[in-house]
Amino acid sequence: MRISASVPRSLLLAGAFIGVLSYGAVAQTASSAAPAAAQPLPPGSPMIGRPDNEAAQKLAPVAAPPIAAAADKLPMDKLKVPAGFNLEVYAAGMPNARSLALGDKGTVFVGSRTVDKVYAIVNKDGKREVKIIASGLYRPNGVAFKDGTLYIAELSKVSKIEKIEDNLDNPPKPTVIYDNLPKDEAHGWKFIAIGPDNKLYVPVGQPGNNVLHDKDHGQIRRINLDGSGAEVVAVGVRNTVGFDWNPETKQLYFTDNSRDWMSEDLPNDELNRVTKVGEHFGSPYCWQGNIPDPEFGWGHSCSEFTPPVGLMGPHAASLGMRFYTGKMFPQTFKNQAIIARHGSWNKTNKFGGDVVVAHLNKDGTVKNIEPIVTGFLQDNKYVGRPVDVMQMKDGSMLISDDWNGAVYRLSYGKAKVAAQ
Amino acid sequence: MRQITTIMAAFAFASLASSAQAAETVEQRAATCFACHGEHGQSEMENTPSLGGQQSPYALIQLFMFREKLRTFDPMNDITKPFTDADLQNFADFIAKIPKPQPPAEAGDPARMQKGLALAQQHRCNSCHNADFSGKENIPRLANQREDYLNKTLAEYKDNSRHGYDGTMADVMGEVPKEQIADLAYYISHYR
């Protein structure tokens, strides 16, 4: 296998020669300048704001292991729930299990982000089985279900599979209904859901950590279920990966992840509420309703923007969020928001890695936040990371975990469901 | 390049046939890897990465992506096709233990090295890859990686023709001018 040895050597020489020619002039100035201060970052770099010190060097985005944990290797002994609640494995073996959607016939659909698959957890005679119903997709994070049809959101398109629950063993390929979307990797993956207005809500994240962007980014849109009639519902949205409608007011609530590299403890993630179409939620000018961005906040005031109804903690990565309307959990949970906090990376002492309930005041703002499932974070390391939460018909809640490729079932009071 | 690919595919095939015959150790099976990636962790083949000392979680992700065809390169897709999850993990752990690549014998051209250093500092490559480019966990070791492979990879991340496991490098490279890639690759490959 030495056949190529001569090729790269000659290429290398050619490269070196060109290098000398083009960089000679620059090199002179470079070597005479003090090497200490680094050049400013180019606009839009995800590193803007990051200090050049040892503490910051230790922080990097955390990637989930690619291989799903076996059902008997899940961290069930580490995950804690309040008295009266039970947590069990609902299904395992789905690498990078992300957003959840529930079919009419009880099938649970599970999207993914770092792999190309959508899974279906099928209930058959009390036994659950995982099927792959779509593959070869690009970051198919979002799933939604309505009237027999499954909707799937990839990085830059939304597609559907009709009558999916009748064709789980041999489903047709998804048909694209909407692809007028940017292709940015940063915050390009999507959570989707269908609102009480029977429209599909599709977010487009801000294309970077902290950037000024065009009118096609940093927003939530809604489209008709055939892909027509796109309309922007909210702007100033950095990256929402979970939303739901308040069952009493029908208002859209959404989690929004705030920027990195501003400080260890600020800004907080937001829980927002849309009260009128086109509202601006601040990003990238104002964070958490009261902190002007150090760069883009100049010339603006936080009072220009709609403040959040609740703060979700710094770098917490608050993702999936649904209102609890079931009868299984204690009465105090009724119509309250249950939120999965995936957990931080941009913080020395990691924060989040839990599922919480945000209790609301009468005016719809957050009164307090209480943990329900904790323990995903152990000794500042993840043993799991919750992504989405979804209520089942019996009032139990499913919780997805992309770190382990699993879905858990949180129930209250009654005996656990039969083991798989 | 096509010829090389064919030869590599042939190697892969030969190895598959033999691994079916008897249970081999990872060390024995790695002969196939070494044929292209170099025997001592250091690749001598064009555009083919050195594997030595690579972070195991990163190596696992790449092997998984090859198996799942989330990263496409025919010889690697073919080789990893029959791998079990345990195979992927074993090879990733094995790769992490072989010696890390050494810097080229001749020191880099000082002017270019300084330019590359300034760019690496400007773009905060040390943010994830560490100041000595040793990497950590899912972040790869870059130090003394082949210059041509670094050039190729950075360009592929920039135009997103190589899809990362997540979008981080596409995001980072999006703002790095194309003309700076050669100096970054030169500097990192010659890093001492």
Nearest to A185 among B114, B121, B167 (CB): B167
Residue scoring higher pLDDT (B16 or A141): A141
Residue A42's pLDDT band (cuts 50, 70, 90): confident
Cβ-Cβ contacts under 8 Å, A62 against chain B: 137-138
Residue A411's pLDDT band (cuts 50, 70, 90): very high
* Cβ-contact A87, A408 below 8 angstroms: yes
Average pLDDT along chain B:
90
Q: Determine the residue of chain A that is closest to B173 in CA distance.
A: A45
Nearest to B46 among A8, A35, A39 (CB): A8
* Cβ distance of B138 and A63 shorter than 8 Å: yes
Say whether A355 sits in a helix, a strand or coil.
strand
**According to the model, what pLDDT value does residue B90 have?**
96
Cβ-Cβ contacts under 8 Å, A188 against chain B: 167
Say whether B26 sits in a helix, a strand or coil.
helix
Mean pLDDT calculated for residue range A205-209: 94
* Dist CA B187 CA A41 (whole Å): 19
Q: Is the pLDDT of residue A61 over 50?
A: yes
ipTM score: 0.86
- DSSP string over A134-177: E-S-SS--EEEEETTEEEEE-SS-EEEETTGGG-SSSPPPPEEE
Q: Is the pLDDT of residue A256 over 80?
A: yes
Nearest to B186 among A5, A19, A138 (CB): A19
Cβ-Cβ contacts under 8 Å, A4 against chain B: 4, 44-46
Min mean pLDDT across A90-104, A320-334, A370-384, B113-127 is at B113-127
Q: How far is CA A266 from CA A6, A237, A286, A293, A316, in A?
A: 54, 17, 12, 11, 10
Cβ-Cβ contacts under 8 Å, B172 against chain A: 45-47
Cβ-Cβ contacts under 8 Å, B174 against chain A: 44, 184-186, 208
**According to the model, what pLDDT value does residue A12 have?**
40
* Cβ distance of A1 and B137 shorter than 8 Å: no
pLDDT tens-place string over residues A149-185: 999 999 999 999 999 999 999 999 999 999 999 999 9
pLDDT tens-place string over residues A187-201: 999 999 999 999 999
pLDDT tens-place string over residues A346-364: 999 999 999 999 999 999 9
Stated pTM of the model = 0.89
User: Which residues neighbour B44 within 8 Å (Cβ) at sequence distance 6 or greater?
Assistant: A2, A4, A5, B38
Beta-strand pair A158-161/A149-153: antiparallel
* Cβ distance of A3 and B4 shorter than 8 Å: yes
Q: Is the pLDDT of residue A378 over 90?
A: yes
Residue A39's pLDDT band (cuts 50, 70, 90): confident
Cβ-Cβ contacts under 8 Å, B166 against chain A: 61, 63, 113-114, 185
Nearest to B61 among A4, A66, A113 (CB): A66
**According to the model, what pLDDT value does residue A46 have?**
86
Burial of A64 (0-12, 13-18, 19+ CB in 10 A): buried
Q: Determine the residue of chain A that is closest to B175 in CA distance.
A: A45
**According to the model, what pLDDT value does residue B9 have?**
52
* Cβ-contact A174, A183 below 8 angstroms: no
* Cβ distance of A57 and B171 shorter than 8 Å: no
CA–CA min distance A139, chain B (Å):
9
**According to the model, what pLDDT value does residue A35 have?**
46
CA–CA min distance A304, chain B (Å):
29
Cβ-Cβ contacts under 8 Å, A46 against chain B: 168, 171-172, 175
Q: How far is CA A188 from CA A86, A253, A334, B170, in A?
A: 35, 20, 33, 11
* Type of residue found at A218: G
pLDDT more than 90, % of chain A? 83
* Cβ distance of B171 and A46 shorter than 8 Å: yes
* Dist CA B129 CA B187 (whole Å): 14
